[in-house]
Amino acid sequence: MLVQEALARDPHAGDLYVFRGRRGDLVKILWHDGLGMSLYARRLERGRFIWPSPADGVVSISGPQLAYMLEGIDWRNPQHTYRPLAAG
């Protein structure tokens, strides 16, 4: 409903819609693949997602920029910001 009403976009067009949590360490991605709506969530253990400042409530970013952002890398200046020391 937020995509449709507040952003005035078609949620069934196949675009990815990325929303950030209040603390900045959680993002949720909505995507409609033609069969149904999918919700993906990603949380950073340390740090916050680098978030672009929206001009009109909507920001378009490229696929590589989204990949950097989901990995916790500053997509404006790609460098690893955190690497876990141990698995598990």
Summarize pLDDT for 3-40 with one digit per residue, the tens. 667 667 777 777 788 888 888 889 998 888 888 888 99
Phi, then psi, of 15 in degrees rounded to 5: -80, 155
Number of neighbouring beta carbons within 10 Å of residue 47:
12
What is the pLDDT averaged over residues 72-81?
69
Average pLDDT value for the chain: 79
pLDDT (0 to 100) of residue 78: 67
Predicted local distance difference test score (pLDDT) of residue 41: 93
Q: Is the dihedral of CA 19, 14, 73, 56 positive or negative?
A: negative
Helix (H) or strand (E) holding 69: helix 63-70
The dihedral sign for the CA sequence 2, 71, 61, 59:
positive
Domain residue ranges in the chain: 2-70
Of 11-15, 42-46, 60-64, the poorest mean pLDDT is in: 11-15
pLDDT at 46 over 90: no
* Percent of the chain with pLDDT strictly greater than 70: 80
